Amino acid sequence: MAFALSPLPYEDTALEPAISAETLSFHYGKHHQTYLDKMNAAIEGTPHADASLEAIVAASRGTNQGLFNNSAQVWNHAFYWNSMAPATTEASAELLAGIEAAFGSVDALKQQLKDRGLGHFASGWVWLAEKDGKLSIEETHDADTLADSGFNPLLVLDVWEHAYYLDHQNKRPAYLDAVVETKLNWAFASENLARGTVWTYA
């Protein structure tokens, strides 16, 4: 059974000015859609056709690079859209306690997310994640993902150039500052932490 593109959890103008409707039309409507179309073509008629997206990512890691890249990017992008909201949402008491224990404060975490995003070489992802009750910032390169990593991802920042170039050109710091300061969905992160298991694609 072919996968469908998961709908955006907000209107295409909802992230402006941090991320424009034009960027979303390309990033979601073309990049994300292309990854999904390629994945669907690759799994058609195979045992993967009836598997969950998470199972496809795990099974293709190290065995089928093309399928892994496309399936992981479908998962990463869907998770990324949910990691943002039209306005910053509230973090739970549990998440705030974890942030304070690991980073000292929410502001310190924000700065570290921006610093890691800025310092990440070339394309990839910067994650707020949990493992064994402790929060950390993790990085993955290119299409790599935390979906099958042993970490429980809470939020992610996309630092591929197509995530910000139309709005900010080569100014990655401006994109990171706008998203981290005004658009992070702490409620989504709180739900992921409370559930204690990796978010699943639907």
Q: How far apart are CA 72 and CA 61, in angstroms?
A: 9
Residue 35 has pLDDT above 80, yes or no: yes
* For residue 202, pLDDT beyond 90: no
pLDDT in tens, 71-117: 999 999 999 999 999 998 999 999 999 999 999 999 999 999 999 99
pLDDT at 146: 98
Domains of the chain and CATH, by start: 21-82 (1.10.287.990), 93-195 (3.55.40.20)
| 17, 20, 21, 22 alpha-carbon torsion, rounded to 10° | 150
The pLDDT of residue 1: 72
Summarize pLDDT for 116-164 with one digit per residue, the tens.
Answer: 999 999 999 999 999 999 999 999 999 999 999 999 999 999 999 999 9
Contacts of 78 (CB under 8 A, 6+ apart): 6, 32, 201
Q: What is the pTM of this model?
A: 0.97
C-alpha dist (Å) from residue 190 to 65, 98, 148, 195 = 32, 10, 20, 9
User: Stretch 21-35: mean pLDDT, rounded?
Assistant: 97
SS3 188: helix
Bridge partners, 196 (sequence order): none
Residue 74 is encoded by which pair of tokens?
């479908």
Report angle CA 29, 19, 135 to the nearest 5 degrees.
100
- SS3 state at 19: coil
d(CA 24, CA 115): 24
Distance CA(116)–CA(176), nearest Å, equals: 10
